[in-house]
Amino acid sequence: MEKLLSGKKILIMGVANKRSIAWGCAQSMLDNGAELIFTYQNERLKKSLLRLIPDEQRLIECDVASDSSIENAFNIIDQRFGKIDGIVHAIAYANKEELAGDIMNSSREGYALAQDISAFSLIAVAKYGVAILNNPASIVTLTYFGSERAIPNYNVMGVAKAALEANVRYLARDMAKYGVRVNAISAGAIKTLAVTGVKDHGDLLRLSEERTVDGKSVTTSEVGGAATFLVSDLATGVVGDTIYVDKGVHLI
Ligand SMILES: NC(=O)c1ccc[n+]([C@@H]2O[C@H](COP(=O)([O-])OP(=O)(O)OC[C@H]3O[C@@H](n4cnc5c(N)ncnc54)[C@H](O)[C@@H]3O)[C@@H](O)[C@H]2O)c1
């Protein structure tokens, strides 16, 4: 039987382990018939990814801090798989000391690093990715409500997420001529590796959980469902948007 993503090749960037939001996206897309390719940040994460996807051909190194690493990854994907239909960008990073206390104590370097890895990287991925994206295609990134509200300790990452959401709008405008839609999912707080970098993340997770409509955290599989929709042909009218998948936390 034809599935929602049958015949679509999707690149998943940002699986660190089975708790990763990117892994929730991958599972939902596999269930819906997609063929997947993955990038990993470094050799250490490759080992972790190999346990989930024991198919080395589909795993390609890509450190988004480096243009040449991104360009090289897309060249390899092109050679091995040809054109692709979508990219899930589920990548963010800030130094731990920037995710604690008052934002005025942020360092210039720490602020720039958070912007580089968490916001600029989407532009770089779009730039090198466009050559191997089909027309139509879809790019989805992951953001958080800390872009709009001053969430304790989230600091430079909140500012990077605000920039990321603006990047989505500008990229959506400029990539339309290539038939590429660009959108973001604003996911509710989920306990992943990335969240544990935020000081008092237990409070952040608890607060967020208490404010969901049913008192339970959103899951990576629920976020994956929305990502599946956004890369599918059901979402051709959704362009440059940020869709909340947080069980109502942003409303309450
Ligand atoms: N967990 C949450 O509560 C939550 C909520 C909303 C949005 N998000 C966002 O979801 C995305 C995925 O995070 P997650 O929570 O699944 O955590 P995660 O730690 O599982 O994933 C983060 C990924 O970013 C990758 N990464 C970091 N620096 C990189 C670099 N230089 N090059 C390539 N990859 C790099 C890591 O290798 C890792 O795979 C992030 O953008 C995060 O901000 C998370």
154 is catalytic: yes
**pLDDT at residue 102 in the model:** 98
Catalytic residue among 111, 144, 170, 244: 144
Select from 69, 85, 92 the least CA-distant residue to 37: 85
Does residue 152 have a cis peptide bond before it, meaning omega lies within 30 degrees of 0?
no
**Which atom of ligand 1 is the closest one to the Cα of 220?**
16
**pLDDT at residue 65 in the model:** 98
**pLDDT at residue 243 in the model:** 98
Select from 142, 137, 179 the least CA-distant residue to 14: 142
Give, as one character, the DSSP assignment of residue 42: S
117 lines ligand 1 (CB under 6 A): yes
180 lines ligand 1 (CB under 6 A): no
Catalytic residue among 154, 170, 178, 244: 154
**pLDDT at residue 1 in the model:** 83
187 lines ligand 1 (CB under 6 A): yes
Q: In the chain, what are the domains? A: 9-247 (3.40.50.720)
**136 CB-near residues (< 8 Å, 6+ apart):** 85, 179, 180, 181, 233, 236
* Ligand 1 atom 22, closest CA: 91
**pLDDT at residue 61 in the model:** 98
189 lines ligand 1 (CB under 6 A): yes
142 lines ligand 1 (CB under 6 A): yes
Rounded to the nearest whole angstrom, what is the distance from the C-alpha of residue 214 to the centroid of ligand 1? Answer: 25
**Which atom of ligand 1 is the closest one to the Cα of 117?**
31
Q: Across the 252 residues of the chain, what is the mean pLDDT of every consecutive 10-residue run?
A: 96 98 98 98 96 97 98 98 98 98 98 98 98 98 98 98 99 98 98 97 94 96 98 98 97 88
**pLDDT at residue 207 in the model:** 87
144 is catalytic: yes
**pLDDT at residue 252 in the model:** 83
